[in-house]
Amino acid sequence: MDLFAVAWPYWHQFFFIIFAATAVGFGFGVLLSKNVVRMAFYLVLSLGSTAGLFFLAGAEFVGAMQLMIYVGGTLVLLIFGVMLTAQKDFINMDTHTQDWILATIVGGSLLMVLLFAAFGAEDWNTPQDLTDAKVEATKEATPLGLALTGIRVDTLGETDDAVQGGKAGYLMPFIIVSVHLLVVLIGAAYMARTKKLSHATDDKSSRAKLMLFKMEHEAELLEEETYVVTHRGQSALNPLDPQDDEN
Instruction: Please report how close the Cβ of residue 157 comes to other proteins at its closest, in angstroms.
Output: 3
**154 part of the interface to other proteins, by CB under 8 A:** yes
Instruction: Please report how close the Cβ of residue 53 comes to other proteins at its closest, in angstroms.
Output: 15
Q: What are phi and psi of 153, to 5 degrees?
A: -65, -25
**231 part of the interface to other proteins, by CB under 8 A:** no
* Interatomic CA distance for residues 234 and 224, integer angstroms: 29
Contact 61/144 with Cβ under 8 angstroms?
yes
**117 part of the interface to other proteins, by CB under 8 A:** no
Residues linked to residue 35 through DSSP beta bridges, in sequence order? 92
Near other proteins by CB under 8 A: residue from 1, 96, 127, 196: 196
Site string for other proteins, 57-86 (x = CB under 8 A): ---xx-xxx-xx--xxx-xxx-xx--xxx-
Near other proteins by CB under 8 A: residue from 20, 151, 169, 170: 151
C-alpha distances in Å from residue 241, one per residue of 27, 142, 230, 233: 83, 95, 16, 10
Q: 8 to 37, contacts with other proteins by CB under 8 A?
A: 8-9, 11, 35, 37
- Determine the residue type at 45: L
**169 part of the interface to other proteins, by CB under 8 A:** no
Instruction: Please report how close the Cβ of residue 168 comes to other proteins at its closest, in angstroms.
Output: 15
Q: 121 to 150, contacts with other proteins by CB under 8 A?
A: 132, 134, 136-143, 146
**197 part of the interface to other proteins, by CB under 8 A:** yes
* Interatomic CA distance for residues 2 and 174, integer angstroms: 46
* Interatomic CA distance for residues 81 and 60, integer angstroms: 29
Largest CA distance in the chain: 124
